[in-house]
Structure 1
Amino acid sequence: MASSAFTRTLLGSRLIHSALSSSRKTQIFTSLFNKRPFHIRADPVDASYKTSGRAPRVMASSVIGSKALFSAQSLSTNEPVVSVDWLHANLTEPDMKVLDASWYMPDEKRNPIQEYQVAHIPGALFFDVDGISDRSTNLPHMLPSEEAFAAAVSALGIENKDGLVVYDGKGIFSAARVWWMFRVFGHDKVWVLDGGLPRWRASGYDVESSASGDAILKASAASEAIEKVYQGQAVGPITFQTKFQPHLVWTLEQVKRNIEDKSHQQIDARSKARFDGAAPEPRKGIRSGHVPGSKCIPFPHMLDASQTLLPADELKKRFDQEGISLESPVVTSCGTGVTACILALGLHRLGNRDVAVYDGSWTEWGAHTDTPITSS
């Protein structure tokens, strides 16, 4: 995993060397990110982006709109996902950027950076979930400061005017985390690609494996920028202005108070076995069990067999079965704050757009010796 500063710095230097010494031929670079101008032609004869003879299709009614053209200013944020058909039809719009936010559990032994090199949606940048994070804590991929987030995404070329579509390599998994991160920092023009890269490829749409030298240099700049912020150094230019939404992110102290106050319903996205304390936690030194008073809705319950978000009526059944009221506030949690965002995504579809996520989640809670734990 690319979570350490040393790994990021070493890999970044290798990327730059590779970019500067390579030829102009299409290659697979050892890159962290990819940034291409959105001028790829949708013509099926274009070698860089063939459509396999498919005409762009109108997206399904269960996801955003039926407009043929993309506009980040007019696209509704009431729906949190867009279809692969819609993205394919709007991929070249200049006010949209696509982010590959793939991340995997350590025991899966999958490398998102390497997988991105092999195949990603044309023009997509790589958003490093571990890298764009708080460098002042040992907890994995915690939410960075406003200044650090602004510096990193600005280095990637993202601006406030941009609409963002985020996807991952599993369908809907870590993309929901990045969707939540942008919303925490006041950027609502962000959507998750329903079904992710697997659905994109299953639909016959092409992927690419090349990255330009310019993209690699920007990748290195993004990693460098976030390091500088945490070292107290100046960075710039800043093209992305944040507007922090504190109600969308909870701390350990807030969860502690909620045990007594019960102001929010807490839902845990981990498996039932981990929630009950019957299965050990994947990270060493973490106690098993759950926060007293919380309820368990494992994140796969939000998705169908093709890893797309369930329709609203099916989602409502999942929450009703666990006694969750859609009229009352909710805070979600999981292992490290990733899959909790999938629950927030499902609740967003049901109209609850103010779901808080406990960022430290069980990795923080279970590591403390003074936090109360319930197990079954």
Structure 2
Amino acid sequence: MASTILRKSQLGRRLIHSSFSLSHKTLQNFTSLFHERTFQQRDDPFHPSYKTSQWVGTRANFSTQSLSLNEPVVSVDWLHANLQEPDLKVLDASWYMPDEQRNPIQEYQVAHIAGALFFDVDGIADRSTNNNYLYQLPHMLPSEKAFAAAVSALGIENKDGLVVYDGKGIFSAARVWWMFQVFGHEKIWVLDGGLPRWRTSGYDVESSASGDAILKASASSEAIEKVYQGQTVGPITFQTKFQPHLVWSLEQ
């Protein structure tokens, strides 16, 4: 797999390559970017992590419109305080390297944040490159139509605010954050520390996945496959708006 490097400045975000795996150095830099920006803002009373740390057990005034689109993370305290809000959806985007021998969907069914949907990083990808034996390029961005179909099958709409996490703390969640940004959805944040921090903070997890959540995960994978096979899918509840400045081609 090619390496992925995501650099973010206050002037914008640019992606250097569009594949999935990160080099060790890049992963460290990307992780420090998230944590540096998060902890620098802890004294800001308008930052979501500040609100819940000052009043533990109380609910912050919720509105995804009030969250800063320039800050890529929210705290576990903020998510816990606002988890039941109807216009907020949580995504489990766990993914592991093959040599780790971990199955993300099985781990999701054993333990996940209550109400979280499973986002299949392997499945929501460009099938034309992944299935072509001449190229074998997994995790390439899907087409706009395919992404819209897959996300719609999960029950996600453009009005939704999204919080994405993974089982390692900060790894594959950042990839999914970028994917939504590429397709024009800015109302997405990475959970600071992911599932490990959620659990060490003492917050509960669900130990079994609902039938509806499993069906949605399966439907999402089936929807993207149908798009690449030229079949009809629907209904489409998520409209994409491709942001070309966030992707660099091989030629670039």
- With normalisation by structure 2, the TM-score equals 0.75
Shift, 1:216, TM fit: 2.4
Provide the rounded CA distance (Å) in 1 between the counterparts of 2:218 and 2:70.
34
Shift, 1:212, TM fit: 2.2
Task: Work out whether residues 169 and 192 of structure 2, in 8 Å CA contact, stay in contact via their aligned partners in 1.
Answer: yes
Structure 2 spans left out of the alignment, 5+ residues? 1-40, 52-59, 130-135
User: SS at the partner of 1:98?
Assistant: strand
Provide the rounded CA distance (Å) in 2 between the counterparts of 1:124 and 1:64.
23
Percent of pairs with identical residues: 87
Provide the rounded CA distance (Å) in 1 between the counterparts of 2:167 and 2:143.
27
Question: Does 2:204 correspond to 1:206?
Answer: yes
Provide the rounded CA distance (Å) in 1 between the counterparts of 2:123 and 2:62.
30
Aligned to 2:70: 78
Question: Does 2:230 correspond to 1:232?
Answer: yes
Question: Does 2:83 correspond to 1:91?
Answer: yes
- With normalisation by structure 1, the TM-score equals 0.50
User: SS at the partner of 1:253?
Assistant: coil
One of 172, 187, 198 as aligned partner of 1:174: 172
Shift, 1:117, TM fit: 1.2
Which structure would you say has the larger RCO, counting Cα contacts within 8 Å and 6 or more residues apart? 2
AA of the residue aligned to 1:229? V
User: SS at the partner of 2:64?
Assistant: coil
Distance 1:140 1:61, change over 3 A: farther
Aligned to 1:135: 127
Shift, 1:123, TM fit: 0.5
Provide the rounded CA distance (Å) in 2 between the counterparts of 1:189 and 1:61.
23
Provide the rounded CA distance (Å) in 1 between the counterparts of 2:43 and 2:185.
24
- The aligned runs of 1:1-376 (5 Å cut-off) are 60-61=42-43, 64-65=47-48, 66=50, 68-137=60-129, 138-254=136-252
Shift, 1:74, TM fit: 2.5
More helix as a share of residues: 2
Larger Rg: 1
AA of the residue aligned to 1:111? N
Aligned to 2:28: none
Shift, 1:221, TM fit: 1.5
Distance 1:69 1:178, change over 3 A: same
Provide the rounded CA distance (Å) in 2 between the counterparts of 1:129 and 1:253.
25
Shift, 1:105, TM fit: 1.1
User: SS at the partner of 1:93?
Assistant: coil
**Matched positions, count:** 196
Shift, 1:69, TM fit: 2.3
Task: Work out whether residues 92 and 165 of structure 2, in 8 Å CA contact, stay in contact via their aligned partners in 1.
Answer: yes
Superposed CA RMSD in Å reads: 1.6
Provide the rounded CA distance (Å) in 2 between the counterparts of 1:213 and 1:192.
25
Shift, 1:149, TM fit: 0.3
Provide the rounded CA distance (Å) in 2 between the counterparts of 1:126 and 1:106.
19
Shift, 1:106, TM fit: 1.3
